């Protein structure tokens, strides 16, 4: 396992050096996933890419290299400047807003297509609350989440968590990240 971790770290550092970024990648292990964290630099936007596409490509390359070397651990999560962490937090907050809308309107809400990681964040955030169910529908790039109100939950059992004002300022990079829009089925 240690060999897998050190190989993944070295591989990503070598890959980043091709782009002119000589930095130390921070590594940790969570369950069976190697977590690789690239510190903030002048290349953040380039390394993250449009809607995280470049970040996912880097992750795929490292994971493929581990599989090709027949390493014990092959699942990898690459994050640049805590982009994924911050995105997941924003997505979870949006999930809470979507839950409120579904409970207030008592109508299902169809969300825009999301990648598997984003869907997992929404399922987890919404799953912690009562009164709304989540289901994924569709295939491939069109896979999306449908939020449906539960009929058997009494209204008074729902306790919404209050949104705390964020002390973090939004960076221009965060403003350009994908905003997941929502549509209700009666708007279609």
CA-CA distance, 24 to 39, in Å (whole number)?
8
**Quick one: what percent of the chain has pLDDT higher than 90?**
48
**Quick one: what percent of the chain has pLDDT higher than 70?**
80
What are the residue ranges spanned by the domains of the chain?
Answer: 2-81, 85-187
pLDDT at 156 exceeding the cut of 60: no
Strands 109-111 and 132-137: unpaired
More reliable by pLDDT, 165 or 151:
151
pLDDT, tens digit, for every residue of 88-117?
999 999 988 998 899 888 899 999 999 888
Q: How confident is the model at residue 152 (pLDDT cuts 50, 70, 90)?
A: low
Is domain 85-187 given the CATH code 3.30.1370.50 in the classification? yes
CATH number of 2-81: 3.30.300.20
pLDDT, tens digit, for every residue of 23-39?
999 999 988 899 999 99
Q: What mean pLDDT comes out for the span 121-142?
A: 87
Helix, strand, coil: what percent of the chain each, to 5?
Answer: 45, 20, 35
Assessment of whether the complete model's pTM goes beyond 0.85:
no
Q: CA-based Rg of the chain, rounded to a whole angstrom?
A: 19
């Amino acid at each position: 396992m240690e060999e897998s971790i050190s190989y993944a770290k070295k591989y990503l550092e070598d890959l980043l050096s091709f782009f002119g970024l000589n930095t130390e990648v921070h590594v940790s292990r969570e369950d069976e996933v190697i977590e690789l964290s690239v510190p903030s630099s002048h290349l953040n936007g380039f390394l993250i890419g449009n809607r995280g596409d470049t970040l996912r490509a880097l992750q795929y390359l490292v994971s493929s290299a581990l599989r090709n070397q027949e390493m014990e651990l092959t699942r990898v999560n690459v994050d640049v400047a805590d982009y994924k962490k911050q995105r997941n937090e924003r997505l979870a907050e949006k999930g809470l807003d979507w839950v409120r809308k579904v409970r207030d309107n008592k109508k299902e809400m169809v969300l825009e297509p999301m990648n598997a990681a984003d869907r997992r964040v929404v399922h987890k955030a919404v799953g912690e609350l009562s009164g709304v169910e989540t289901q994924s529908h569709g295939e491939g790039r069109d896979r999306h989440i449908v939020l449906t109100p539960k009929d058997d939950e009494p209204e008074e059992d729902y306790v919404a968590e209050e949104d705390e004002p964020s002390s973090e300022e939004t960076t221009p990079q965060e403003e350009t990240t994908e905003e997941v829009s929502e549509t209700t089925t009666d708007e279609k």
